[in-house]
Structure 1
Amino acid sequence: MNGALPTPLLQASGITKNFGAVTALRSVDLSAGRGDVMAIIGPSGSGKSTLLRCLNFLEKPTAGAVILGNDRFEAQEFSRRISWGARSRLISLRRRVGMVFQNFNLWPHRTALGNVMEGPLQVLRISRPEAEARAKDLLASVGLAERAHHYPSELSGGQRQRVAIARMLAMEPEVLLFDEPTSALDPELVGEVLGVMRSLAKEGRTMLVVTHEIAFARDVATKVVFMTDGVIREEGSPEDVLRGAKSDALRSFLSRFHDDEGRAGNGVGG
């Protein structure tokens, strides 16, 4: 029997990010295997969202590398004016590592259907009939078939976020990044977005989710990462991290939450 560990699908190696004199990330290492659902938790300002944006170079790291499959993307390759070849590699990385943002980022002048069709048409260069069929299937899969011809202004926050998820999926990414996808939603709309994400996890999608939804991390994640001050402080299974917090910082963070069953404390019992 071969005891070798499977090769990670996505890795961060020594990712550092400086904003002037402020260091937001400090040599962060991270790895996610195919089918992993990684919940990244921590207080505001801990570097969670910056790390997520560095993974597909929407934020260019100051140092370090991102490895996706067999492809390595070094920060220094993209630190200054980049070549056409490097630009093409960046476009490929961003297509393969999709992202859903806190505030939807939908095109207001396009319908839900138009938003989902745009990437396949403009980037993947597939035919309009194929792009439309794909978009309709994806909108149906997130429960929005009847809202296909509505504009973002005509949709609720939860519906807009589900359109954003469908738009990401239309590009057929290998890795799905979610940056606090429920933080801009009214409480009664959170469940419909988390329901879609739970379904994606059941499909075996590789997902990295920055979230304050501790119950989601407990019930859906295969790994939990806790960050403070631009550093990963604890990581492991939900059981290890959420029930067996080793640091005062993590215990203090978890004590702020109540889970859906109304238990006080960290939302995970105990």
Structure 2
Amino acid sequence: MKSSEPTSIILEARGITKSFGSHEALKGINVAAHRGDVVALIGPSGSGKSTFLRCLNFLERPTGGQVVLDGEIFAAADFTGRPRKTDAARLINLRRRVGMVFQSFNLWPHRTALGNVMEGLTQVLGMSAGEAAERARGLLNKVGLAAHAGHYPSQLSGGQQQRVAIARTLATEPEVLLFDEPTSALDPELVGEVLNVIRGLADEGRTMLVVTHEIAFARDVATKVVFMTDGAVQERGTPDEVLRDCQSPSLRAFLTRFRQER
């Protein structure tokens, strides 16, 4: 659901850097998401998109910069080395409020779809098993999998597993959703069912940042598109500004190559 109405910033990255030894993977990334934004992060493989996404909830510790969530600052300098108990609690809270959906699903293989979704409700939110089961069934219904509640991941298709993963992430009621190439591990015929769920979340006004190679999805669903290459933002703007009226040669080359591959 696209909207041009001004809203408050809910998540902001300020000068995020990340180095792996001598390799500078992120070179001072600045990105802001307003409430209800769907920010599509596009760019060639190896450009730092997934690393940046993981830095937003400190699954990957930034080398420098700040993440600001609804006014609360999480600075890279505050979380160096082994975190203190208070720091660990802040990180847990950050990851609950900024939920992550991974490209490889990361479901627990020994738990059913229902059990996977219940886990965060009982362990993070402290719900009783009965209350958690009721909430989890509602979330599975939301992603079209109510009939598969008793199935284990090995009994589900890749698209179904990813939809369970989305339901599991929604369970802890995050304020922001991060999607790290949510369809890249799927067979082509299963991509649509996952993108339809994400479209539905956009229609609800959810704030999301999505690393994707699905350019049509970015054009149709995103409110903002950010093009990254070599660890830096090259272009940003509305889908029309970035995908139709692109200025940088690297973005034009990327889009040309993408269209040829399709």
Do the structures match in fold with TM over 0.5? yes
Structure 2 counterpart of 1:67, one-letter code: V
Q: How has the CA–CA distance of structure 1 residues 204 and 136 changed in structure 2, closer, same or farther, with 3 Å as cutoff?
A: same
- The Cα of 1:156 is off from its aligned counterpart by 0.2
- The Cα of 1:266 is off from its aligned counterpart by 10
Residue number in structure 2 paired with 1:92: 93
Residue number in structure 2 paired with 1:140: 141
Task: Write the deviation string for residues 210-262 of structure 1: whole angstroms up to 9, x where unpaired.
Answer: 0000000000000000000100000000000000110110000001234xxxx
Task: Write the deviation string for residues 146-186 of structure 1: whole angstroms up to 9, x where unpaired.
Answer: 10000000000000000000000001000000000000000
- The Cα of 1:92 is off from its aligned counterpart by 0.3
Residues 72-91 of structure 1 aligned to structure 2 (within 5 Å): 72-91=73-92
Residues 1-270 of structure 1 aligned to structure 2 (within 5 Å): 6-258=7-259
SS of 2:9's partner is coil
Task: Write the deviation string for residues 108-137 of structure 1: whole angstroms up to 9, x where unpaired.
Answer: 000000000001100111111111111000
Q: Check the 8 A contact 1:48/1:227 in 2, yes or no.
A: yes
Q: Distance in 1 between matches of 2:172 and 2:8?
A: 24
Q: Check the 8 A contact 1:26/1:231 in 2, yes or no.
A: yes
SS of 1:256's partner is helix
Q: Distance in 2 between matches of 1:24 and 1:60?
A: 12
Q: Distance in 2 between matches of 1:185 and 1:19?
A: 29
Normalising to structure 1: TM-score of the pair?
Answer: 0.93
Structure 2 counterpart of 1:199, one-letter code: G
SS of 1:207's partner is strand
Q: How many residues align?
A: 257
Task: Write the deviation string for residues 78-120 of structure 1: whole angstroms up to 9, x where unpaired.
Answer: 1112111111000000000000001000000000000000011
Q: Which runs of 5+ in 2 are unaligned?
A: 1-5
Q: Distance in 2 between matches of 1:107 and 1:188?
A: 24
Q: Distance in 2 between matches of 1:141 and 1:160?
A: 14
Q: Which runs of 5+ in 1 are unaligned?
A: 259-264
Q: Distance in 1 between matches of 2:7 and 2:198?
A: 24
Task: Write the deviation string for residues 26-59 of structure 1: whole angstroms up to 9, x where unpaired.
Answer: 1111100000000000000000000000000000
Q: Check the 8 A contact 1:242/1:266 in 2, yes or no.
A: no
SS of 1:177's partner is strand
Q: Distance in 2 between matches of 1:219 and 1:17?
A: 31
Q: Check the 8 A contact 1:222/1:238 in 2, yes or no.
A: yes
Q: How has the CA–CA distance of structure 1 residues 6 and 204 changed in structure 2, closer, same or farther, with 3 Å as cutoff?
A: closer
Structure 1 moving runs of 4+ over 3 Å: none
Considering Cα pairs closer than 8 Å and 6+ residues apart, tell me whether 1 or 2 has the greater RCO. 2
Structure 2 counterpart of 1:206, one-letter code: T
Normalising to structure 2: TM-score of the pair?
Answer: 0.96
